[in-house]
Structure 1
Amino acid sequence: MIKKYSVSLLAASIAASVSFASNANDSIEVVDLGALEGAYETYPTGMNDAGIAVVVNRNLWNQNIRFELIDPERFEDEDLDNPDDNTYRLVRNALNSPGALGSDPASQKLGQQISHKYDGQPVALEGFDSIDAETNRETDSVNYIGTDINDLDVIVGQAGEPYERRVTTNREQEEVQYFMRDSFPRAFAKEAGAITFLPSSVSDLYQGGTSRATAVNNQNQAVGYAAVANTPNLTNRFDVCAEPSDDEAESDPSYEELNVCIWRYWYSQEVATVANGGSRSPIFVEQAHAWEQSEQGEWQARHLGAYEAPEPTDEDAQRILLTSRAYDVNEQGIAVGTAQRVVTYFEGTENVLVNTAVVFRDGELQDLQDEYRSQNSLATAINDDNIVVGYTSERAGLFNRDRAFYVDIEDPSAEPTYPLGFFNTSSWRPRAINNNKQVVGQGEVSTLQAAVRPTVGFLYDIESDTITDLNTLLPCDSGYRIIDAVDINDRGEILAVALTEIVIPIDDTQSSADRIRAVRLQAGSGEACGVEEEARERQGASMHPLLAGSMALFALLITLRRFRARS
């Protein structure tokens, strides 16, 4: 039996969870989490139980661009001595583009993501940049991304060091100038004004390797991932950088200093690929890590573990190292994430590499994936009652869709439960779960048969098996459309990603467009604009993704003609 609840009832439920008086038809309030000066897009990443959030700023203006260093022939139609807004944007985009100046170490480097804390107003996370001696301004070359904040005001994330303009020499001892730094992006913890770059459990990595902290609990235990070894391709790159070719041309990697040569490789694998729409290809083997403070307050690294690959059949080959990542940690220090594993995927297929959802607990990995029916599964969040949420990529109709799951890891016999979502082929990804068994994330509400479909932020209640499009809880005049939800605290406040119209003044014109903004959803007093019966309770409707996929295929065969015009 399918039961339906009205939007107003769900809005009242959210209002009650945040201890605000509310009428049954009250909407939720949208609080824009602000932006730093010169930033026109914001993205939320984490929130604590007091509603204080960490926000990433993008689309940055008013940066310290060194126009005097720009080759005027590249911008022959622009006045670089008196740049207007349009010239600024053209040069900024060129400096950030891998296909233009971004991949050239001789060109200035600009940060594209900086962060602030929102506690009633945006406050920049300072201390990552340095003053450029030539301009007496900050270099504006650092990406610093806060990812989470706990109730003790400790913020974790990932940041690089500033790029410096250095006069150095190439392998032929000729003078050259490069914008360089001596490390890769690394995990950080920021508390009481102090910033600590978090180490890997392996100490002899080139320039410290790469790392990222993704979550922190109230015991000041942070989790994420850190480099533990070179990838085979990086090892090969060291050889390429060291051995001159016969022509000794300037395009030869060995013509440059080692750090410049390796930087080019890092940039092509981890920056350019993402900018061009691909996936990041780490140059180090990265595995799940935890960091916690000693009695003296020092942050220490602890390797959380990874699966081992089978012994190679070739005697001269080395066993490869498999990756793992931790995405969340609860108050008991239990972490969840994903880990690569080599399995027998189906009968007759051996040594298939899968990414499987795992729990990191007491020095061991607990695999959550059900019989490896998917090659991609990950656990995204865990609450203090040890309920884990995540998603698995499954074939549904013509395309792969992400199927949400939850599981109580305190029950040794429990298996993941796969709720239905908005409809049987809807892709939905849980991002966070609170201690009231409320889950938020991103889901599809369109039945359009396409690989990419419009998304909304959702609220899912495990106890009632109820899923809600958060847009149906907004007042009609909010001006925002919620496309994702990334966190929820125990007061029921939701950290969400919204689209709203933002105006950017460009010289004498106004550029107006829908842009991404970080918002907090909380109890409000207006009337919800949503359609009645938008939320659905599906008692007994949870199913395994394989069954859901079969139903989706059956439905597709029946309705193919109806969707053909739109597919």
Structure 2
Amino acid sequence: MKSFTLKSLTVAIVSTVSFASAADTYNIETIETLNNYRSSIPQSINASGQIVGVARFPENVEIDFSRVPSRLLAQIGFDPEEDEELTIAQYQAIVENLGNYANSSLQTQRIGLNQAFIYKGSSSAVNAVPATADQLANSVDSFLYSINNANTAVGVTSAPYELIEHQYTNADDETATAEYFVSDFLSRGMWYNNGESSVVEPQAQDYLGGESAIFDINDSGLAAGYESVALSPAATTRIEESCEDPEVASASQPLEVCVWGIWRGLQNADASNIAAFNNSRYRYSRPRSGYNAGRSIYDIRGKLWQFDASGEVIDQVELPTLVERRSDDENDFSSYAYAINNNDIAVGQSWTYHPDRGAIRMPAIFQNQEAQPVTEDPIYLWGSATDINDSNIAVGHLTKRPAGTLRSYGFYYDVDASELTILDSFFNGASTVVRSINDNGEMVGTAEVDPTLSQVRARAGFYYDMSAEAPQIINLNNTISCDSEYNIVDANDITENGEIIATALKTEEYTDEEGETRTREILVNIKLDPIEGELNNCTDNEEPVERQGAAVGLGSLLGFGALGLLITGIRRRTFLKTKKS
């Protein structure tokens, strides 16, 4: 394997720690980004100030040029036989294209772009399934989504890839060999506390090892997530016909590679049935909604796991779907739990049926082993519940189509009273997603702030207090100095004391390989500590930020794409992706 040398890069970032002006309502604390990663996205903070999240884009991956598509090398102007050093732009292009969620080939190098971390005064990587000597380094994607007040964190990890040889008889009746990168499983929910970790095994592990994920854990150790429980009827038929039938299946592919191709196609499928143009008479028209259906070869069920102090599962409960799968529907039909409160009520999402649009994902409340809808109003075409507090107030988003365009609307739902409230946003039609709610009824999330009729709209993190005398959505950029170096684009979590962890864009200067000073925007993790003050009402000057569904901008910074190993509803404390959900 020929290694590369990345041309020297000097970066200067001026960080502001605990800075505030007289009128600000928050101090800003910067949370360091994990070493050798470009960006940082917070997910959850507990009462003691420990933070978990995801570091993004590794800066020092070793590239095997024999495993990089020749067309990509030609496109970026790099010849491994002639060139000794990659430029910064060339390295970025290679890593982005080989990232697990963008990379559709199992014959090229696989790179994990996401690294789970925990912050306790300094940031440390968390690896529940580290690569062995025989496996590909830097090929795992891992995420931590929640940390409780016992300092137990939960999340999800993929498996490391390893290279295998597959022998087959070619068309000339000769023995040939093909090489592929494969992994033991698609995903595993992970538990972590003080250096110790464990993973949860799903019921169904046919062909690809199955899927599981954990998104939240309450203070008694009860965790919420999902796991694969069976192959779907459609997947069973398709695998038999396309991968196991020797008359049809490609001899050059092992069975698991063929099945992986089916799974990946389902993961990236668009929810075209909720698109604005949807007329089955036009057979060759494929309207796109921009919302990722995030399907699977597996039927998946929401799951609650009771962990003991050492990370062992001592009890578990499977959560149902909102309705039963129809007899004429052979696709995967699933439920997902994304958050749980200390009353053991979970919230999330489930497939159900729209009267005119077929199968859709909608918010679900899981209580007493039953799934309850937040709404059955047919005006809504998609949605998810993302969090719930100990007063049994759930939050999330619902999608409808004003003026022919799909938009997400934030909501809160009183579980005890079965009462739904839609939040006002910055302007009519502004897509809004609530990420988190504390026990005081304070919510945070992200919303569009740019009313122009463009595909790319600026977004901002927001704060909303449902218990205020006159509740209103507040742009968090108006709560800090108008000349702050941070542009807050998402607010991910809020504590009982009103401390907020948020994701912000920040400009950094760097010296490129030619010695020129350049700038670029990166995502940073900040903590907002409330202080006495008033809103600054800064003039809106946000740069256009990638809204879900477009192809450039913030989505490129994140590189999330369609998160194949995760479900694609907007989950609790999950940041923007390049596909709507």
Taking the aligned partners of 1:263 and 1:320, their CA distance within structure 2 comes to: 17
> Match of 2:274?
none
The CA distance in 2 between the partners of 1:295 and 1:498, in whole Å, is 35
TM-aligned CA distance change 1:204 to 1:143, over 3 Å: closer
Q: What residue in structure 1 maps to residue 405 of structure 2? A: 399
1:78 lines up with 2:89 in the alignment: no
Is the CA contact (8 Å cut-off) linking 1:230 and 1:283 kept in structure 2? yes
Which residues in structure 2 correspond to 1:225-374 (within 5 Å)? 225-235=226-236, 236-245=238-247, 253-270=250-267, 279=292, 280-293=294-307, 298-299=312-313, 300-309=315-324, 312=327, 322-342=333-353, 345=355, 352-374=358-380
* CA 354–139 in structure 1, closer or farther in 2 if over 3 Å, else same: closer
Structure 2 CA distance for aligned equivalents of residues 212 and 98 of structure 1: 17
Q: 1:376 and 1:141, CA in 2 relative to 1: closer, same or farther beyond 3 A? A: same
| 1:160-199 correspondence to structure 2 within 5 Å | 160-170=158-168, 174-199=176-201
**Match for 1:80: what amino acid?**
P
Q: Which amino acid aligns with 1:307?
A: L
Partners of 2:72 and 2:197 in 1: how far apart? 39
Task: Give the direction of change, closer, same or farther, for the CA distance of 1:146–1:97 in structure 2 (3 Å limit).
Answer: closer
Aligned to 1:536: none
Task: Determine whether 1:41 maps to 2:47.
Answer: no
Could you tell me whether the CA contact under 8 Å between 2:191 and 2:311 is conserved in 1? no
Change (3 A) 1:504 1:526: farther
Aligned equivalents of 1:44, 1:23: Cα separation in 2: 25
Distance in 1 of aligned mates of 2:446 and 2:228: 29
SS of match in other structure, 1:132: coil
Match of 2:98 in 1: 95
Q: TM-score, normalised by structure 1?
A: 0.77
1:145 aligns with 2:143: yes
Listed as ranges, the gaps of 5+ residues in structure 1 are: 1-19, 247-251, 533-567
**Structure 1: how far apart are the matches of 2:392 and 2:517?**
50
Correspondence for 1:530? 537
Partner of 1:535: none
The question of whether the paired residues in 2 share the 8 Å contact of 1:199 and 1:301 is answered with: no
* Counterpart-to-counterpart distance in 1, 2:111 and 2:300: 26
CA distance in 1, matches of 2:458, 2:353: 34
Q: Deviations over 1:80-139 (max 9, x none)?
A: 36233344334334433888xx333222211111121122221111343224359xxx71
- Which amino acid is the alignment partner of residue 345 of structure 2? I
Deviations 1:446-476 (CA, angstroms, capped at 9, x unpaired) = 3323455322111101111132111001123
SS of 2:420's partner is: coil
Mapped contact 2:24–2:536 kept (Cα < 8 A):
no
Contact 1:287 / 1:303 at 8 angstroms: preserved in 2?
A: yes
Select between 171-180 and 116-125 the one with higher mean Cα deviation.
171-180
Deviation at 1:271, TM superposition (A): 6.1
CA deviation vs aligned residue, 1:47-101 (integer Å, no higher than 9, x gap): 21223211212222101322465577863653536233344334334433888xx
* Partner residue in 1 for 2:215: 214
Q: Secondary structure at the match of 1:417?
A: strand
CA contact (8 A) 1:503 1:511 kept: yes
Report the Cα distance in structure 2 between the residues aligned to 1:48 and 1:295, rounded to whole angstroms. Answer: 17
| Worse-matched range after superposition: 78-87 or 326-335 | 78-87
Q: Deviations over 1:246-287 (max 9, x none)?
A: 7xxxxx53432212222233334436989x976233232222
2:117 is equivalent to residue 120 of structure 1: no
RMSD in angstroms over aligned alpha carbons?
Answer: 3.3
Does the CA-based 8 Å contact 1:43-1:516 persist in structure 2? yes
Deviations 1:176-200 (A, max 9, x none): 3322212112211122323222123
2:555 is aligned to none
Identify if the C-alpha distance between structure 1 residues 72 and 52 changes in structure 2 by more than 3 Å, giving closer, same or farther.
same
CA contact (8 A) 1:114 1:145 kept: yes
Structure 2 unpaired stretches of 5+ = 1-17, 272-288, 540-581
Could you list the per-position Cα deviations for residues 347-390 of structure 1 after superposition, in whole angstroms to 9, with x for gaps in the alignment? xx5x8434332210111122221534312232221101111122
8 A contact 2:127–2:142 mirrored in 1:
no
> Deviation at 1:297?
5.0
Partners of 2:140 and 2:157 within 8 A in 1 = yes
Which of 418, 425, 446 aligns to 1:421? It is 425
1:499 Cα deviation from its structure 2 partner: 1.0
C-alpha distance in 1, partners of 2:440/2:193?
A: 28
Q: Distance in 2 between matches of 1:70 and 1:469?
A: 43
Partners of 1:25 and 1:89 lie apart in 2 by 40
Give the secondary-structure state (helix, strand or coil) at the position aligned to 2:380.
Answer: coil
Which amino acid is the alignment partner of residue 230 of structure 1? L
- The aligned counterpart of 1:538 is none
Higher helix content, 1 or 2 = 1
Helix, strand or coil at the partner of 2:151: coil
The residue identity in structure 2 corresponding to 1:481 is N
Q: What whole-Å deviation, never above 9, does each CA across 1:479-499 have from its counterpart, x for those lacking one?
A: 001111111111111121211
Q: What residue in structure 2 maps to residue 516 of structure 1?
A: 523
Separation of aligned partners in 2, 1:524 and 1:66: 51
Matched residues, number: 489
CA distance in structure 2 between the aligned counterparts of 1:484 and 1:64, rounded to whole angstroms? 32
Q: Distance in 2 between matches of 1:385 and 1:456?
A: 27
Q: Which residue of 1 aligns with 2:275?
A: none
Give the Cα separation in 2 of the matches to 1:73 and 1:513: 27
Task: Tell me the CA shift for residue 245 of structure 1.
Answer: 3.4
Identity %: 26
Instruction: Give TM-score scaled by structure 2 length.
Output: 0.76
The verdict on how the C-alpha distance between 1:459 and 1:70 changes in structure 2, with shifts beyond 3 A counting, is closer
- Output the CA distance in 2 between the equivalents of 1:296 and 1:212: 18
Contact in 1 for aligned 2:234/2:330 (Cα 8 Å): no
Q: Kindly state the Cα deviation for residue 436 of structure 1 after the two structures are TM-superposed.
A: 0.9
Q: In the alignment, which of 486, 496, 508 is matched to residue 490 of structure 1?
A: 496
